[in-house]
Structure 1
């Protein structure tokens, strides 16, 4: 059972951190000789980005009692992410992943090794006891796909946050191979999105989940189900945003001189939107910050290498 924390976080998130091995040279994974190790995981990327911007960030997870788990625990500490709700599970391993280096900036090939991982053992007992200890909860569609108990945990956290008056952001972050079927995936993720204030789908994700093909129709789908606001990621074209009051628009994309790696761009977008909203900025400004951070991320090889510090944020916004 996680022990209560009476100090309020700005943001709490939950997920599976993984050791990432990035190829040092282009080519198929089986032919690569050298790799660079880093930390990865969608929710961890978001926690890292928010912590670098000075937000007090907590992270709920389970790590194996192994070298990967110790590496990730050290990375959390190095980034200033609170570990009060990080548990060590000696009976399960820490997950890891391999990623190619795409010389042309295209999406890399990724192989995951996460079956039976420590994080798949997450469950309701890992939730904070007592009053929800943060003013904002960030969720993705990955954690509920890890196991039935992890699914219970995510819904429990969402309801706990709502009862405490905290806001919630939700990024679908689809991983179809983790779900038993596309139908179960869509039903579960849309149910979670209905509990969120801010929903952050990509255009292709939104089409898979809603059956709609335009950004505004996707946004309307989630607004009709209870979301306060939606920002639909459009890749290099930027983002479409819409508020429940009907205000909508496009946040222009930012030109990138050279795309190094596309992985993590969506997490960077979430960092920008969540941080801006927590600072009291409006949705257009939040979407613009999301675009700026997402564009910065694709210029770096690691999933979180390009997430800016507070000092680096202003240049990113005005590049």
Structure 2
């Protein structure tokens, strides 16, 4: 058995990557060009996961970059509002903070329009020599996304961060999670993405993705085949989202499928990030894999039934309430309890 070292732990959940101002229409079900009023929110997948984890009582932080502008300062205030530590957030002179528009066309059409992100954005300017490697090394969970690998110098920073999260150097209960979050508009090709993913997978303990994202990472196949390939690459828990069929997770000794928690969908965009923050909470709580998946599914469903992402991340009492209402298993911890 590999001997695990003892190191100082600072954050329960430390994420790295995308941040933006999300601009969502207040008018549902009409084309974006016909919308008259909008609301603005903190957004960006890695940042949303940090917010979701904080909602579950976890100490969380995000490594990211914003422009030195009013939108950047707005995002900093929002991080403070959500109790997400922003000591790893920096402003980039001369760059604009990205803005992301979305049309809300339930039940399953939520097109995104990225402004100020291409050809590059502040969070793709994270540099390896700026990283607090001690904070990365000591976090109980370190979360990154494939989008962060799509441009330099961000890609080199992500690879450097993963290298200090060597699986053999992690203490018991630490995890390195890769969100397979593949967005084709940010890549030259799926093959380029797969090559970058291959560089970090040896350092990853948990990989999470849907069928398309898993196919980019390890090739097309059935969910079980994709999970087995992720496990063969060294991952300890492979999570494959099955769409309407729920989600499956496999380890080397266990296979669990969690059925979805049906809700009336308003905006499906934040569901995956809510799932991620809740998954982190369950993992850190030491719950059985089946309970983690059920809890994360319910957390994702709650956000899908609401308009915003960060602002609508659920609390443990809301998630447990939905599980109980639907006759699903509620994890063994008290609603207000967070394991140490």
Q: Deviations over 1:33-82 (max 9, x none)?
A: 22111111111111001001111001111111111101100010000000
Q: Which residue is equivalent to 1:233?
A: 241
- Contact 2:279–2:296 (CA under 8 A) maintained in structure 1: yes
Q: Which residue is equivalent to 1:307?
A: 313
Structure 1 residues 224 and 129: alpha-carbon distance in aligned structure 2, compared to 1, 3 A threshold: closer
Structure 2 residue runs without a partner (length 5+) = 1-7, 326-340
- Contact 2:159–2:199 (CA under 8 A) maintained in structure 1: no
Q: Distance in 2 between matches of 1:287 and 1:311?
A: 17
156-165 vs 133-142, which deviates more? 156-165
Query: 2:188 matched to 1:180?
Result: yes
Match of 2:15 among 13, 16, 34: 13
Query: 2:101 matched to 1:98?
Result: yes
Q: Which residue is equivalent to 1:61?
A: 64
Matches for 1:126-165 after TM superposition, within 5 Å: 126-130=130-134, 132-145=137-150, 147-162=151-166, 163=169, 165=171
* SS of equivalent residue, structure 2 residue 209: coil
Q: TM-score, normalised to structure 2's length?
A: 0.86
Query: 2:213 matched to 1:209?
Result: no
How big is the shift at 1:273? 1.6
Q: TM-score, normalised to structure 1's length?
A: 0.92
Match of 2:74 among 53, 71, 74: 71
- Contact 1:240–1:251 (CA under 8 A) maintained in structure 2: yes
How big is the shift at 1:130? 3.8
* SS of equivalent residue, structure 1 residue 318: helix
- Contact 1:136–1:161 (CA under 8 A) maintained in structure 2: no
Q: Deviations over 1:219-244 (max 9, x none)?
A: 00100010001111112321111112
How big is the shift at 1:261? 0.9
Q: CA RMSD in A?
A: 1.7
217-226 vs 277-286, which deviates more? 277-286
- Contact 1:168–1:196 (CA under 8 A) maintained in structure 2: yes
Q: Distance in 2 between matches of 1:306 and 1:35?
A: 16
Match of 2:203 among 159, 183, 195: 195
Q: Which residue is equivalent to 2:3?
A: none
How big is the shift at 1:282? 2.2
32-41 vs 48-57, which deviates more? 32-41
- Contact 2:133–2:161 (CA under 8 A) maintained in structure 1: no
Match of 1:48 among 42, 51, 55: 51
Q: Distance in 1 between matches of 2:109 and 2:145?
A: 20
* SS of equivalent residue, structure 1 residue 201: strand
Q: Distance in 2 between matches of 1:88 and 1:167?
A: 29
How big is the shift at 1:215? 1.1
Q: Distance in 1 between matches of 2:54 and 2:39?
A: 23
- Contact 2:41–2:311 (CA under 8 A) maintained in structure 1: no
Q: Which residue is equivalent to 2:252?
A: 244
Match of 1:111 among 110, 113, 118: 113
How big is the shift at 1:7? 6.4
Q: Distance in 2 between matches of 1:96 and 1:122?
A: 18
* Count of aligned positions: 310
Structure 1 residue runs without a partner (length 5+) = 1-5
- Contact 2:133–2:164 (CA under 8 A) maintained in structure 1: no
